[in-house]
Structure 1
Amino acid sequence: MTGTARPHARALGRRELLLAGGALGLGAAAAGFSPSKAWAEPRFASDPFALGVASGDPWPDGFVLWTKLSPEPLSVDGSGGMPPRKVEVGWEVAADDRFRRVVRRGRTFAVPELGHSVHVEVRGLEPAREYFYRFRVHGELSPVGRTRTAPPPWADLRSLSFAAVSCQAWFEGFYTAYRHLSEEDLAVVFHLGDYIYENPIDANGGVRNTPVAPELRPEPYDLVQYRLRHALHRFDADLLAAHAAHPFVVVWDDHEIDDNWVGDIPKANEDPAGFRQRKTAAAQAFYEYLPLRLSSKPTGTDARLYRRLGYGRLAQFHVLDTRQFRADQACGDRTSDCADRLLPGRTVLGDEQETWLYEGLGRSRARWNIIPQQIPVTQVDTVPGDGRAFVMDFWDGYKPARDRLFDELVKRKVSNPVVLTGDMHRHMAADLKLDFDDPGSRTVGVEFVGTSISTKMDGEDLDQGGRNLLDANEHIAFTSYQRGYLRCTLTRDACRADFRVLPYVTRPGAPVSTRRSFVTENGDPGLKDA
């Protein structure tokens, strides 16, 4: 570090930041265009790469690389300690971690309209290879990240390991799970949503007992506030380690914007026009802070986050967005068994995404078809004994949509469908039944639900809610309310899911263990103990 103070520059205010992004257009900003003057010889008082590096969306010939110039990540004006100038940033990709064999390098601009974030889409690399990458700005070097390209479509892989994570309320627990995840041997990590939480934060940062500036505490509504909320969640050594170790495939759920939002509909009685402005700000911040390709850059309130990634002949991943295109929750979003959840035409994915999913599943020639998404697909009756009650935010609130999905899996003879899910803050393993009300009905696939990284604090192995689920749902084989993540391994013969758990997250340093493991075998859908 130079230790030299940066020149004085007026920080962009909240309104100016919003107007700058809108006037230029995020597409132009993402390409490095900006009307701002270049900062020709930047000097930083502290590490400009304090938020680390990341990679994402692996393809056989490349991936996206990410960083964000932010010497003061929690600067209350949302600038990250950067002036309103564009800055040239160099990047390198090498075949070794000492960068003796650099295979790609280039330069781009970090622009204030995108919070000085950098998204570089690297192409022309060899498939199924480990690579190392770093960034440079005027002599300052970033940490080194490690990533991997996907194998070519024709590759006949023997095995593939990956993980699924979700739900990381910074103020409800430490990110120790990410430290353990960074040490796993994984090809890719799927983040299934709730990367941030929009809830108000107390002055002591919840269980972390860390003073939080007043500007960072309120529920976010504009771009500055969403940037600060992302910075707070992101500025964590364990999370930075996981991003530097593995490529991530990210998609949002609800808390990146507002609890239980769908489409342009907020949870509370909020003005629709105001919510669209809020959603626009949240979508931009989401793009700025995560390793997303240009194809996922938002346009106003819209962002294309559903996408498909292939891993040879072994696996096809069909990543879904279950928030942006669905109908409003039925029954006033209350847990119940009301008739409205059964209305024909109710949709979770929207017509375009449904068609995309079904056609992709039908065309897939992969041995395993994995569907990473956000909310439980399986029927989740929350009341044991007589009577039933369902969470309207789950697929239970959209039964016709689930019926269409299962019918398509059968009709198109989809090979080995496996659903990966977040949102519930609990581990769960379930058989997906063509008719959940008939225990003898055909099993069309399995669902593995991963618990939260930190949301809901320590939890316990089997809480009363878990007992109720096991009593009321014969197709649910396992649940645990501890924190952790899901690790999966595919072979030609089986898909194995290891439910990784931590005994506590309200203080750092917890060990990790595997609470239980299941397999589903090729051509024989259904859960079996590993």
Structure 2
Amino acid sequence: MLLNRREFISLSLSTLYLLTHNLEALAGDAVEIFDLGIASGDPTQDGIILWTRINPNIHSKLNKDLILEISQSPEMKESSVIKIPGDKIIKERDYTIRLTIDNLKPGKTYYYRFSYADVPSMIGRFKTLPAGNVENYRMGFVTCQNYADGYFTAYRHLANEDVEFILHLGDQIYERIYGKARVPGRDLAFPSGHSIALDLEDYKYLYTTYLSDKDYQLARAMHSFIYIWDDHEYANDYSFDYEKGFYKLPKHPFENDREKVLNLRKAAILAWHFYTPSRAKLNLNAQNPLEWITIYRDFKIGELAHLICLDERSYRTPQPCDKRYASSGCEDQYKTSMLGENQKFWFYEKLKQGNSWKIVANEVQFVQGKINGLYGSLDAWDGYIKERQEIIEFLNKNNINKFVALTGDRHAGLIAEIPTEFKENYEKIVGVEFMTPAVSSISAAEANWWKDYGVKDADEYAQLEIKQNPWTKYLSHRVWGYSILDIDKSSAKCQIVSVNKYKKDSDKEIAATYQYIPGNGLVKF
């Protein structure tokens, strides 16, 4: 897909140089050697994680050293050079390399590239987080990218956006094959021969397939990513059974086999770690499965904002009541926990730090969503009502109203105020929720999830949800793409960008833009 003239004109010279160079690299020898591209992740004020993989077929024959260059020039002038010996590129990590780079300067743009057998990779770009006084900041956020459900064209447009980093809210892969692909050339087949990932090789197959997408590679080269995960990186709708000490995997082949469930968990963690540039902590030798990986972590954006990344899957108790969708609810909604005690304590401590914007990477819908007396999903925060209300009361008690929940999971675009009480004539709000649509995953408009609510289609469902849940100001099941968050000292603005997942060369459109000013609520642009 080529950039259109308007996009070229809007780009800075350094960005234009980089995009032109990388589009050429994606068509050259670098593709064969760096078959999954390059990436950076988890920026701090003075550091970054850099990542790549060498094609196993090539490295097994050549066993060459890998060279990394880092520069403040897109032309890679005056570079610092690091050599990674060939014997460090090993099969046990699927020939991936991750490097922690420190002693960088805050708020600066850096460029990097790898070279192997004298063949350079694309040139990557990342920005360290700023320190001190920051007037404004811009980040992208994405979620839910089922490879078989559509093209990743959204990433080509996101690569061109002027953002500091991209927050990925989970479902980077899907652990199950849901039948024939919805677009040509995207069919999947697990090494195990099953329709669901059952071992490490299956998970590795998913990551290497998803990361082979050139639009995704371009976005990962052009911007740093901060990743959390949702459920499909492991198993759909999973939760933790604290009494039995292992994970519940509903309708999974391993559902009742503790050993297989835990072995699969380790495989999912390893695969995520191989291909995701992240500072998440691993401890796979711990006796307690809850300690095998710690994904929740935080990032300071100067004095302006504090990004708090949550893990709303690994510690949650099982979803309550009779069914996930179209449930009238039950008492168990007041006995569940989404975060677990340790993470919740950590979360509250982070919320109390300073008076900056609290930007929360939140996997599942936070605000209440009921249609005709039935909850939309008890897998979301509606299934964890007591804990949600505890968080809202904590925000209210501590006078925190610069609170923004960035949400994925639902495969829809949603913008809502967060009231102190979910009632028709609510009087006070403590923040907002900005939900980004899926990059490509199937939406309610393509399925029949809405039938259980007595409505004729997904559009009527959306209209009723807005009407019956007045804090929700925007909802669409017919949008795919990504979102942009702009924050300054007085406001937070979200722009939902729609990109047709069925076309490789589709343009982008602005689906919705809303601004939040604490004390005044949401305003539509």
TM class, shorter-chain normalised?
0.7 to 0.9
Offset at 1:88?
A: 4.1
Residue 519 of structure 1 aligns with which residue?
Answer: 515
Offset at 1:290?
A: 1.1
Instruction: Give the root-mean-square deviation of aligned CA atoms.
Output: 2.5
Offset at 1:278?
A: 1.1
Separation (CA, whole Å) in 2 of partners of 1:286 and 1:312 = 29
Separation (CA, whole Å) in 1 of partners of 2:280 and 2:234 = 20
The range that moved more, 103-112 or 227-236, is 103-112
The answer as to 2:138 corresponding to 1:147 is no
Contact 1:86-1:111 within 8 A present in 2 as well: no
Separation (CA, whole Å) in 1 of partners of 2:210 and 2:134 = 36
Instruction: Choose from 362, 370, 386 the match for 2:359.
Output: 370
The AA in structure 2 aligned to 1:110 is I
Normalising by the residue count of structure 2, what TM-score does the alignment of the two structures yield?
A: 0.84
Offset at 1:191?
A: 0.2
The answer as to 2:50 corresponding to 1:60 is no
Can you give the 5+ residue segments of structure 1 that lack an aligned partner in the other structure? 1-43, 73-80
Contact 2:320-2:383 within 8 A present in 1 as well: yes
The range that moved more, 45-54 or 454-463, is 454-463
Offset at 1:390?
A: 3.9
Separation (CA, whole Å) in 1 of partners of 2:251 and 2:426 = 41
Separation (CA, whole Å) in 2 of partners of 1:147 and 1:424 = 29
Per-residue Cα deviation, 1:51-110 (whole angstroms, up to 9, x for no partner): 1000011101111001112256xxxxxxxx754998643322111122212146343622
Per-residue Cα deviation, 1:357-388 (whole angstroms, up to 9, x for no partner): 1011101342x11001200110011x23xx23
Residue 485 of structure 1 aligns with which residue?
Answer: 482
When residues 71 and 463 of structure 1 are mapped into structure 2, their CA distance, relative to the original with a 3 A threshold, is farther
Contact 1:198-1:220 within 8 A present in 2 as well: yes
Instruction: Choose from 183, 201, 205 the match for 1:207.
Output: 183
Separation (CA, whole Å) in 2 of partners of 1:142 and 1:46 = 8
The answer as to 2:431 corresponding to 1:454 is no
Contact 2:416-2:472 within 8 A present in 1 as well: yes
SS at match of 2:269: helix
The AA in structure 2 aligned to 1:392 is L
Contact 1:172-1:457 within 8 A present in 2 as well: no
Contact 1:462-1:479 within 8 A present in 2 as well: no
Offset at 1:509?
A: 1.1
Offset at 1:410?
A: 1.5
Contact 2:136-2:486 within 8 A present in 1 as well: yes
SS at match of 2:294: coil
SS at match of 1:238: helix
Normalising by the residue count of structure 1, what TM-score does the alignment of the two structures yield?
A: 0.83
Per-residue Cα deviation, 1:256-307 (whole angstroms, up to 9, x for no partner): 1111112311122512321111111111101111111263576675211111
The answer as to 2:296 corresponding to 1:320 is no
Residue 96 of structure 2 aligns with which residue?
Answer: 117
State how 1:400-415 maps to structure 2 within 5 Å: 400-415=386-401
Separation (CA, whole Å) in 1 of partners of 2:110 and 2:405 = 29
SS at match of 2:343: helix
Separation (CA, whole Å) in 2 of partners of 1:424 and 1:525 = 27
When residues 137 and 402 of structure 1 are mapped into structure 2, their CA distance, relative to the original with a 3 A threshold, is same
Contact 1:331-1:341 within 8 A present in 2 as well: yes
The AA in structure 1 aligned to 2:251 is A
Instruction: Choose from 421, 424, 446 the match for 2:410.
Output: 424
State how 1:52-451 maps to structure 2 within 5 Å: 52-70=37-55, 83=60, 88-103=65-80, 105-107=82-84, 109-152=88-131, 154=132, 156-200=133-177, 202=179, 205-210=181-186, 212=188, 215=191, 218-263=195-240, 264-268=247-251, 270=255, 271-293=257-279, 295=281, 301=289, 302-335=292-325, 336-344=327-335, 346-366=336-356, 368-381=357-370, 383-384=371-372, 387-451=373-437
Contact 2:366-2:433 within 8 A present in 1 as well: yes
Offset at 1:185?
A: 0.2
Contact 1:167-1:195 within 8 A present in 2 as well: yes
SS at match of 1:284: helix
Separation (CA, whole Å) in 2 of partners of 1:163 and 1:439 = 33
When residues 419 and 214 of structure 1 are mapped into structure 2, their CA distance, relative to the original with a 3 A threshold, is closer
SS at match of 1:477: strand
Separation (CA, whole Å) in 2 of partners of 1:332 and 1:113 = 43
When residues 458 and 363 of structure 1 are mapped into structure 2, their CA distance, relative to the original with a 3 A threshold, is closer
Instruction: Choose from 501, 504, 516 the match for 1:505.
Output: 501
Offset at 1:213?
A: 5.2
When residues 526 and 45 of structure 1 are mapped into structure 2, their CA distance, relative to the original with a 3 A threshold, is closer
Offset at 1:149?
A: 0.4
Contact 2:420-2:426 within 8 A present in 1 as well: no
Contact 2:31-2:37 within 8 A present in 1 as well: no
The AA in structure 2 aligned to 1:105 is I
The AA in structure 2 aligned to 1:325 is Y
Separation (CA, whole Å) in 2 of partners of 1:110 and 1:324 = 30
